[in-house]
Amino acid sequence: MRRLCLLVWLCFSTLVGKEASLKREYATSCQEFTFSLYERLKEPEKNLLFSPYSIFTCISMAYAGANGKTATEIEKALSITTERGYFFQIAETTNNELLKKVHIANGFWADRDTFFLSAFRHLIEKNYQAQVESLDFQNRERSTSIINEWTRNQTKGKIETILAPDDINTSTRLVLTNAIYFQDNWKQPFDPKLNREVLFKKSSSKSVFIPMMHMTQDCSYYEDELLQLILLPLQEKNMAALFFLPKTDSFLDKLVNQTALNSYLDQIENKSIAITLPKFSLKQRFYLKETLISLGMKEAFSDHANFSLANGMRDLFIDRVVHEALFTIDERGLLAAGSTASSLGLTSVPEQSSSTSFLADHPFIFMLVDLENRIPLFIGKVHNPS
């Protein structure tokens, strides 16, 4: 009896260890994809905002139907190193954990006259908790309206139209969508009475006065010769906003990568910080076909695409990937919303105190991060908060 108990414990321990390892791999893939996209979407002296997790999830659903070289290229683009069978298993586990904190919804919109393999539909429905619907894509206006209404509802009206009328055409056979919405208050809100106008240096030659929030609080902090980093916790457990402030503007886009992010988070310490941050609201929309091709995902957008695990044939390709995101920060907290659709078709400065000063009066990078898994849900940079 004693030996049986020992064997059961060893097996259980092995399973727990395997899941933890898979979760780390999944988080690493999300992180590497985040910074690969950031590198390609950033532009000099321009604001930037996107939800890497929304895009990652949507392309992952397409990956479920991919085979051969098409699947291999998607793995490269998404930085997937996990064995395929385990990947979808851990995607489900991670999504379920995030759903306790963040509103995430997925949609599977299939052409009513097109056959899809039951195994593919089941995987999308089970592992991604996707809403599965049939639409008449010959009626473009009606189909677009239904998907846009779904997006609007899932983001509480913040993303009104993910699809334009010409994003669906007569060759469209499947649209995969993801929506993510999060709104929460800071653990310690800013006092509006402390707000003041501060000169924000957009570039070396351009500045603008903008309203800035201010407070002094104990928070997680990191500093080195290149940057200052603060972590502002939200009321939702393990959710936080990170702000990366370069000491020299030329280092702005060199501050964060997958290795650096984990290193910073490992070294943060609690410290009294005098924080001065601008209120801002960003909204941005991207068509990501060329960006994903530059990441190595070429065949999926071509006539040679192999999505045979979706319908048993090789007559599907990804027509376009559309993404839109919104991010707002004020005294009370933050609001973030994002949506991605992928269609498959036929072929003045506050007074100083004894606290360390974090004065965001020049361009900076920000993230909304799930600290439990270290997954960036949103990332952006502010060059002009006005």
Q: Is-contact 327 49, C-beta < 8 A?
A: yes
**Residue 293 within any structural domain of the chain:** yes
Q: How confident is the model at residue 154 (pLDDT cuts 50, 70, 90)?
A: very high
Better-predicted residue by pLDDT, 67 or 4: 67
- By mean pLDDT, which of 6-20, 87-101, 272-286, 329-343 is the weakest? 6-20
Q: Are 274 and 365 in a shared domain?
A: yes
**Model confidence over 118-132: pLDDT tens digits?**
999 999 999 999 988
CA distance 181 to 328: 12
Give the mean model confidence (pLDDT) for residues 258-270: 92
Q: Are 269 and 238 in a shared domain?
A: yes
Q: What is the CATH number of the domain that holds 94?
A: 3.30.497.10
Better-predicted residue by pLDDT, 343 or 261: 261
**Residue 13 within any structural domain of the chain:** no
Q: Is-contact 307 316, C-beta < 8 A?
A: yes
Residue 48: which of 61, 59, 57, 35 has the closest Cα?
Answer: 35
- The neighbour count for residue 291, using CB atoms within 10 Å, is 18
**Residue 5 within any structural domain of the chain:** no
CA distance 196 to 51: 30
Q: How confident is the model at residue 109 (pLDDT cuts 50, 70, 90)?
A: confident
Give the mean model confidence (pLDDT) for residues 184-207: 89
Q: Are 92 and 158 in a shared domain?
A: yes
**Residue 377 within any structural domain of the chain:** yes
Residue 6, helix vs strand vs coil: helix
Q: Are 37 and 99 in a shared domain?
A: yes
**Residue 154 within any structural domain of the chain:** yes
Q: Are 108 and 209 in a shared domain?
A: no
Show the beta-strand stretches assigned E in the chain: 48-50, 103-111, 131-135, 172-185, 196-201, 207-223, 227-233, 239-246, 269-278, 280-287, 316-329, 333-346, 356-359, 364-370, 375-382
The pLDDT score that the predictor gives to residue 348 is: 43
CA distance 291 to 192: 40
Domain extent, residue 127, equals 25-183+281-346
Q: Are 240 and 224 in a shared domain?
A: yes
What's the mean pLDDT when you consider all of the chain? 89
**Residue 3 within any structural domain of the chain:** no
Q: Are 212 and 332 in a shared domain?
A: no
Q: Are 156 and 73 in a shared domain?
A: yes
Q: Are 267 and 365 in a shared domain?
A: yes
**Residue 135 within any structural domain of the chain:** yes
| Exposed / middle / buried, residue 376 (Cβ in 10 Å: 0-12, 13-18, 19+) | buried
What is 299-339 written as a DSSP string?
Answer: GGGSTT---HHHHSSS-EEEEEEEEEEEEEE-SSEEEEEEE
Considering the chain, what percentage of its residues have pLDDT values greater than 70?
92
Q: Is-contact 63 75, C-beta < 8 A?
A: yes
Q: Is-contact 195 212, C-beta < 8 A?
A: yes
- Reply yes or no on whether the pLDDT at 14 is more than 70: no
Q: How confident is the model at residue 189 (pLDDT cuts 50, 70, 90)?
A: very high
Q: How confident is the model at residue 386 (pLDDT cuts 50, 70, 90)?
A: confident
Q: What is the CATH number of the domain that holds 235?
A: 2.30.39.10
Q: Are 254 and 336 in a shared domain?
A: no
The pLDDT score that the predictor gives to residue 172 is: 83
Q: Are 305 and 214 in a shared domain?
A: no
**Residue 100 within any structural domain of the chain:** yes
Q: Are 140 and 96 in a shared domain?
A: yes
Q: How far apart, in Å, are the Cα atoms of 105 and each of 50, 150, 160, 264, 378?
A: 17, 10, 15, 31, 16
Domain count for the chain, please give it: 2
The pLDDT score that the predictor gives to residue 7 is: 55
CA distance 260 to 238: 20
- Reply yes or no on whether the pLDDT at 349 is more than 50: no
Residue 95: both structure tokens together: 């999504």
Q: How confident is the model at residue 166 (pLDDT cuts 50, 70, 90)?
A: confident
